[in-house]
Amino acid sequence: QKEVEQNSGPLSVPEGAIASLNCTYSDRGSQSFFWYRQYSGKSPELIMFIYSNGDKEDGRFTAQLNKASQYVSLLIRDSQPSDSATYLCAVNTFYSGNTPLVFGKGTRLSVIA
Amino acid sequence: GAVVSQHPSRVICKSGTSVKIECRSLDFQATTMFWYRQFPKQSLMLMATSNEGSKATYEQGVEKDKFLINHASLTLSTLTVTSAHPEDSSFYICSASTGRGLKDTEAFFGQGTRLTVV
């Protein structure tokens, strides 16, 4: 059973602070890792993906992957109220688009102005 | 990124009727699409994997006779909720991947369909 675990939150951070979102996964064979943002009533939108151990930065977002610990995280610098949403961690076992992503339950982030 | 279009975005139907939801990949061919259901404040739950030209693969607990999936072309998959009941009211989302290789494994989502059965 492939599982992806996230703290459901809510995680509250003040505007301008760093928000840290964490995710662990059970399948050691997992190859690709994704962070999606979902606003209430909307479908998820991709923020970042990461395949290799280490950090990957894109603007205010940094994804961190540690395959040995089966852990992936997302840091949001200079958090803005517009970042308030549910963040979904997703994992894929294969380098293939023909297998569905396994999603965590999501962490609700609230950025307070 | 790739574009996945889902229609309708919102539908209200009477109990006992059927509703069809369309999912189209607009700028790429998708041999595989996925259908999810999301209840309020819960995560995405995979319902089925839609394969072009063959039968869909349903997740455990999902009734294949109730949720009919057709993937007749490389750009279109449809989900039909048959004999809908109020408990089928949910947010239905499709996704697809270009699936060409390492960098294309991310899933692109349709806009979602809010189904309300009254």
From B80, B86, B102, select the one nearest B94 (Cα to Cα). B80
Which of B43, B57, B92 best probes binding to A when mutated, by most A CB atoms within 10 angstroms? B43
**In angstroms, rounded to a whole number, what is the distance separating the alpha carbons of residues A5 and B110?**
24
pLDDT digits (tens, 9 = 90+) for A55-108: 999 999 999 999 999 999 999 999 999 999 999 999 987 656 677 888 899 999
Euclidean distance between CA atoms B49 and A101, whole angstroms: 11
> Would the CA dihedral through B57, A97, B79, A43 be positive or negative?
positive
| A contacts of B105 (beta carbons < 8 Å) | 31-32, 49, 92, 94-97
Residue B97 is nearest to which of A42, A97, A103, comparing CB atoms? Answer: A97
B-chain CB neighbours of A104 within 8 Å are: 43
Which of B28, B44, B113 is the best substitution to test chain A (most A C-beta atoms within 10 A)? B44
Rg (CA), chain A: 13
Question: What is the largest distance, in Å, between two alpha-carbon atoms of chain B?
Answer: 44
Q: What is the pLDDT along chain B (118 residues), one digit of tens a residue?
A: 678 999 999 999 999 999 999 999 998 888 789 999 999 888 889 999 988 888 899 999 999 999 999 988 889 999 999 999 999 999 999 998 766 555 556 778 999 999 999 9
d(CA A59, CA A76): 9
CB B6 within 8 A of CB B33: no
Task: Give B46's contacts in chain A (Cβ within 8 Å).
Answer: 100
Nearest to A103 among B1, B44, B105 (CB): B44
